[in-house]
Chains A and B, each alone.
Chain A
Amino acid sequence: MKLPQNLLFTKDHEWIRVEGNLATVGVTDHAQEQLGAIVYVELPDEDEEFEQGDVLGAVESTKATADVFSPVSGKVVELNEDLNDNPGAVNTSPYEEGWLVKLELSNPEELEALLNPEDYQKLIDEEA
């Protein structure tokens, strides 16, 4: 299981990469593996604002549709529109090409409560 060390994670299997005031959000390798082949990714609108824990979008596989929750509060500044044509990028490259949105953080303190790679690894080990 690939688990990049420069990311933070949520209990709902989202990841977040923080660069200054910007955060890139996606779903984890574990999440895409559980869902199976992703056929559609529902993204929010640009400029849409979310509180931590709000439903940001959804990933749909042939078997299920899972909500994606916003790991932090913020405003959407960029969408990965390539996913419209290639939703499978979430499967093949969950941490790089398969990112979903970039958020402008409105409350960076929320980052402190997120899981580090080690804690997230523990969580998925427990689930297994």
Chain B
Amino acid sequence: MRYLPHTESDIKLMLEKTGHKDLADLFRSIPDKLAPENKLNLKAALSEPELVEEMTRLAKANKFEEYRSFIGAGYYQHYSPAAVDSVLMRSEFYTAYTPYQPEVSQGTLQGIFEFQTMVCQLLEMDVANASMYDGATACAEAALMCRRVKKKRDKVLVAKSVHPEYRKVTRTYMSACCDDMIEVGVDAAGRVDLDDLKSKLNDNVACLIVGNPNYFGVVEDLKSLADIVHAADAMLVVTFSEALAYGALRGPGYFGADIACGEGQSFLGSPSFGGPGFGMFATSEKLMRQMPGRLCGRTVDRRGTPGFVLTLSTREQHIRREKATSNICSNQALCALAATIWLSLYGKRGVSELACHNLTKSEHLKKRIAALKGYEIAFSGPTFNEFVVKCARPASEVVKSLMAQKIIPGVGLAPDYSDYPSHLLINVTEVHCESAIDALVAGLEAAGKGGAK
């Protein structure tokens, strides 16, 4: 599908056909108070060389490349092989809008099918959809799905260690149907406080949402959580922002999670200042009809040739209208395709090796920071490639001190967790070379001087 703008003569011809004297006349039915008062407030058009100059000036204002960043907190720096873009930039893929007609879109539909298969393999779940907007909306959709499955139960428990933005988006979704979202506390390991969980489970609770790894980078004890939650006849939702962790960890499905959902940006490479990413969403075969979003299936045509089509569409809004399972019909097809290419390039063993490389590097950094005066590892639970350090000073001061040396050491927890003022969330991946890690440790050491341990 190409973008073909209307020419002046197109517009004139169409106005003649519809019997309107000009465009203003065509749009006359829009009430004055809703119509834009003037033209958009844009600068005059530039020539091409002028435009290149302007864009270059703007690009140079960005100083991020000069910094070494250890920011994770939901979006992660990973390496994307050049082959990903080279396949992705085929115009058949990147210009298509909703390429769902099986007659003309077998390539894209097969891409979606392969994506779903890989998501299922990674998360050890039965069925995955064609992707969602991002991790936060996937998490919110999971909460709504649990409410659909557990009809009479209107409360949703969410661990405080779930990504703060995922909790905010879920709360917004839930607020539209007046449901309660109740937060469950964190123990000394940085995991869900099981006693607090048990005290909050009752006949009104539809599900528990936990992060794995959670926002603190900590890996939860999913087996215990699944047992406790299922004993109360509620559902377990496992959400995540670092999907690569499942190259090293068993998938949520292995422990009996009912829904696994989260962010897939790690398989796109660059965090790109926060997007685009894409959401992953998977569930059990038993619950697949309650799953939001598109689903691509493999079938055979009347001559027996294998082919791909959208399936289970009757639960979607273009057929079921207001009774649809979800209003989500969109996905992030291009990002999901990029992730599919990324995953197929690394392969099953490669993803596992890369994940173990991240884990090893993170453990190495953890040890070095724990040995520094003025710093300790905040939580005792196991982590993947991200962990929380408790500083002897407010985390914001430590960040400021290292920024002066062009190092961004991580993200302070204080804005989202008032009880953790001196806690710093640090992420390390395969893109951080040994010299960057040395610089971070030296910077932290210098910033920690003067603070008592």
Residues of A whose CB lies within 8 Å of any CB of B are: 40, 42, 60-65, 67
Q: Which one of A42, A62, A65 has the highest number of Cβ atoms from chain B below 10 Å of its Cβ?
A: A65
B interface, size bucket: under 10
| Cβ-closest chain B residue relative to A44 | B151
For residue B314, which residues in chain A have a CB less than 8 angstroms away from its CB? 60-65
What 10 pairs between A and B have smallest CB-CB spacing?
Answer: A65-B314, A60-B314, A65-B320, A64-B314, A64-B319, A65-B315, A67-B323, A40-B289, A63-B314, A65-B319
Task: Provide the B299-327 mask, 1 if CB < 8 A to any CB of A, else 0.
Answer: 00000000000000011000110010000
A61-B314, A64-B314, A65-B319 given; name 11 further pairs at CB < 8 Å: A40-B289, A60-B289, A60-B314, A60-B315, A62-B314, A63-B314, A63-B319, A64-B319, A64-B320, A65-B320, A65-B323
Distance, CA A56 to CA B173, complexed state (A):
26
A-B contact pairs, 18 of them (CB 8 A): A40-B289, A42-B289, A60-B289, A60-B314, A60-B315, A61-B314, A62-B314, A63-B314, A63-B319, A64-B314, A64-B319, A64-B320, A65-B314, A65-B315, A65-B319, A65-B320, A65-B323, A67-B323
| Cβ-closest chain A residue relative to B324 | A65
For residue A61, which residues in chain B have a CB less than 8 angstroms away from its CB? 314
| Cβ-closest chain B residue relative to A58 | B323
| Cβ-closest chain A residue relative to B314 | A65
Task: Provide the B1-33 mask, 1 if CB < 8 A to any CB of A, else 0.
Answer: 000000000000000000000000000000000
Distance, CA A94 to CA B319, complexed state (A):
24
Distance, CA A42 to CA B148, complexed state (A):
13
Residues of B whose CB lies within 8 Å of any CB of A are: 289, 314-315, 319-320, 323
Distance, CA A30 to CA B357, complexed state (A):
62
Distance, CA A65 to CA B319, complexed state (A):
8
Q: How far is the CB of A49 from chain B (nearest CB, A)?
A: 11
Distance, CA A65 to CA B312, complexed state (A):
10
For residue A64, which residues in chain B have a CB less than 8 angstroms away from its CB? 314, 319-320
For residue B323, which residues in chain A have a CB less than 8 angstroms away from its CB? 65, 67
Q: How far is the CB of B294 from chain A (nearest CB, A)?
A: 16
Distance, CA A30 to CA B285, complexed state (A):
31
Q: How far is the CB of A77 from chain B (nearest CB, A)?
A: 19
Q: How far is the CB of B269 from chain A (nearest CB, A)?
A: 40
For residue A42, which residues in chain B have a CB less than 8 angstroms away from its CB? 289
Distance, CA A4 to CA B61, complexed state (A):
80
For residue A40, which residues in chain B have a CB less than 8 angstroms away from its CB? 289
Distance, CA A64 to CA B323, complexed state (A):
12
For residue A63, which residues in chain B have a CB less than 8 angstroms away from its CB? 314, 319
For residue B320, which residues in chain A have a CB less than 8 angstroms away from its CB? 64-65
| Cβ-closest chain B residue relative to A40 | B289
Distance, CA A65 to CA B315, complexed state (A):
7
Q: How far is the CB of B208 from chain A (nearest CB, A)?
A: 21
Q: Which one of A42, A60, A61, A67 has the highest number of Cβ atoms from chain B below 10 Å of its Cβ?
A: A60
Distance, CA A64 to CA B319, complexed state (A):
6
For residue A67, which residues in chain B have a CB less than 8 angstroms away from its CB? 323
Q: How far is the CB of B275 from chain A (nearest CB, A)?
A: 34
Q: How far is the CB of B5 from chain A (nearest CB, A)?
A: 37
Distance, CA A60 to CA B319, complexed state (A):
11
Distance, CA A40 to CA B313, complexed state (A):
13
Distance, CA A65 to CA B318, complexed state (A):
11
| Cβ-closest chain B residue relative to A62 | B314
For residue A65, which residues in chain B have a CB less than 8 angstroms away from its CB? 314-315, 319-320, 323
Distance, CA A60 to CA B311, complexed state (A):
12
| Cβ-closest chain B residue relative to A67 | B323
Distance, CA A40 to CA B287, complexed state (A):
13
Distance, CA A67 to CA B319, complexed state (A):
13
